[in-house]
Each structure stands twice: as structure tokens, then as C-alpha cells.
């Protein structure tokens, strides 16, 4: 399938990616894309989780790098974005500062961590007791109205080797909320480039989870397919694989024009 856009990319600032904004935009031009969204892990006012995201004092430099790329690459649409974890204390920062004063085009919601027992549990290291909490937090993130779409909703399977009743309940809660709130869910190509997970049924990617997206067929949801590039060379990597999952499960693609003009905010 012809690929013309990718809304999920990272830069060196998150400490687990390589390349700067211009490198990703050039890679997008080289691959013939019409649109590229730069969406590194957001800086946070309290520098929480700084080991996997930019420091707060790097935010303006990140913005300047995107603004420069917009001028330097007029042949492609470059969008300014961030990938965010939801917390009540960041509501004003996301809405008033990032989408408001800083004029970001869109924000991506994600759940790399799960609030559990007065702490935050990594979604890469979930146990059975955490799965339903992940679903509850993911739904709360959608309900905030801040995010144009939600990244890799099935990341709870990153190192959880089972597909059990907890996973099924979690999936159904996420899809029901996505249907009601009309928030698109991402089929994320990055998981297909990661080391396989050992399960009772054999090896599988950490995500996308096949049984998760099979359940999606029962709900009226929309999806977006992205590479989640952490290297310029991966600017379109595995997007077609993600689209194959969507096609196989008869899932509808979202109208990505809403990410260009912030129309999605008018719903809230």
C-alpha cells in the first residue's frame, strides 16, 4: 500500500532514539511522504520520567527545530506534536500551554506507565494484577479530550505472555470507550521491530497483539497506522504491516485531516 504520511516519530531528545527533526523530515521527503508529524516524548514541568524523554528546558529547542524544518522543507507538510502520558496535574500544561500558547498541532496519548498502588508501574513490565488498571488508565486518558489519537493501546502485552480474561476485559473496555468518545486508536509498527516475546503459544511481537485487534471488529472504532520511528531510516517502517492488520479485521481508518487543523478539539 502506498504510504503518504506518518504521525509518530521521535528525536534524540528522548534518549532512546537517534536523529534530529531535520533528519526525519529529510527521510520522509526521500520516501515520498506528503506529511510527517514530529512527536517526541513530551517534556514535563516536573521532569518526571526524564530518563526516557526530553528535559523541560529542551522544549523550546525542540519547537525551534520543528519550526526551522517547516521553513526548510516547503515540499512536505510538517506537524508539531508530542507523545504524552496523562495525569490530572498536567491537564493545563497540555491544553493551555502546548495546544494553546506553544501552538502544537496535536498531542498523542500513551500509557507507557500505569498508576497503581500510589505509584507508576511500567507498562513494559505488567503482571496480571496490573492489566485492568492499565485499561482504566487508558480510558481515563481518552476521556481527558486532550489527545488526537491514542498510541499502541495493546502495549500492555509488551512482556505479559498470556492472553487471558484480564486482557479480554481490558481490550473491551478500551474499545468501548474509543467507540463512545470517537478517539482513534493506533496500530503501531514499532512493536514489530522489537524482540519477540515468549508465550505458551510460541513467539510473538510485544505488540500489535493479534487477538486484541480481532476483538476490535466488534466495535465501531477508527484506527491510524504509524511507524513510531526512533531512527530516520524507520520513517515508514512496518506501516503497511499495521495496515494489513486493520484490513484483515475490517477496521476503518480515521480521517487524518483532523490532526492538521485541531478539529478534534472541537468535540470537547
Grid-cell match 475490517, residue found: 250
Supply the CATH number for residue 90's domain.
3.20.20.140
Residue 79 sits in which domain range?
5-267
DSSP state of 231: S
The order of strands in the sheet holding 35-41 is: 5-6, 35-41, 77-85, 106-110, 149-150, 185-188, 222-226, 252-253
CB 78 within 8 A of CB 65: no
Specify whether the CB–CB gap between 108 and 150 falls below 8 A.
Answer: yes
> In the chain, how many domains are there?
1
CA terminus-to-terminus distance, the chain = 34
The confidence score (pLDDT) of residue 267 equals 39
Q: Give alpha helix (H) positions in the chain.
A: 21-30, 59-72, 91-92, 128-143, 165-181, 210-215, 239-248, 258-261
User: Do the Cβ atoms of 130 and 116 come closer than 8 Å?
Assistant: yes
Tens-digit pLDDT profile for the chain (268 aa)?
A: 699 999 999 999 999 999 999 999 999 999 999 999 999 999 999 999 999 999 999 999 999 999 999 999 999 999 999 999 999 999 999 999 999 999 999 999 999 999 999 999 999 999 999 999 999 999 999 999 999 999 999 999 999 999 999 999 999 999 999 999 999 999 999 999 999 999 999 999 999 999 999 999 999 999 999 999 999 999 999 999 999 999 999 999 998 887 665 544 443 3
Find the largest Cα–Cα distance for the chain.
51
Grid cell listed for 146: 486532550
Q: Report the chain's C-alpha Rg in angstroms.
A: 17
Amino acid at each position: 500500500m502506498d504510504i503518504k504520511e506518518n504521525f509518530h516519530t521521535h528525536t534524540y531528545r528522548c534518549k532512546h532514539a537517534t536523529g534530529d527533526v531535520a533528519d526525519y523530515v529529510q527521510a520522509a521527503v526521500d520516501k515520498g511522504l506528503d506529511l510527517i508529524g514530529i512527536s517526541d516524548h513530551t517534556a514535563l514541568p516536573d521532569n518526571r520520567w526524564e530518563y526516557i524523554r526530553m528535559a523541560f528546558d529542551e522544549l523550546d529547542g525542540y519547537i525551534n527545530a520543528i519550526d526551522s524544518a517547516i521553513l526548510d522543507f516547503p515540499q512536505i507538510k510538517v506537524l508539531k506534536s508530542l507523545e504524552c502520558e496523562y495525569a490530572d496535574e498536567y491537564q493545563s500544561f497540555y491544553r493551555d500551554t502546548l495546544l494553546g500558547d506553544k501552538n502544537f498541532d496535536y498531542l498523542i496519548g500513551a500509557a507507557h506507565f500505569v498508576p497503581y498502588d500510589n505509584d507508576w508501574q511500567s507498562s513494559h513490565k505488567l503482571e496480571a494484577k496490573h492489566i485492568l488498571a492499565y485499561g482504566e488508565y487508558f480510558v481515563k486518558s481518552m476521556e481527558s479530550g486532550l489527545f488526537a489519537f491514542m498510541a499502541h493501546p495493546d502495549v500492555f502485552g509488551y512482556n505479559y505472555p498470556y492472553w487471558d480474561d484480564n486482557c479480554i476485559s481490558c481490550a473491551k473496555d478500551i474499545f468501548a470507550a474509543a467507540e463512545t468518545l470517537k478517539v482513534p486508536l493506533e496500530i503501531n509498527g514499532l512493536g514489530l521491530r522489537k524482540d519477540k516475546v515468549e508465550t505458551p503459544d510460541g513467539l510473538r511481537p510485544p505488540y500489535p497483539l493479534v487477538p486484541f485487534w480481532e476483538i476490535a471488529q466488534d466495535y465501531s472504532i477508527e484506527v491510524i497506522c504509524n511507524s513510531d520511528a526512533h531512527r530516520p531510516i524507520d520513517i515508514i517502517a512496518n506501516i503497511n504491516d499495521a495496515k494489513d492488520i486493520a484490513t484483515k479485521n475490517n477496521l476503518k481508518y480515521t480521517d487524518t485531516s483532523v490532526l492538521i487543523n485541531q478539529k478534534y478539539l472541537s468535540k470537547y
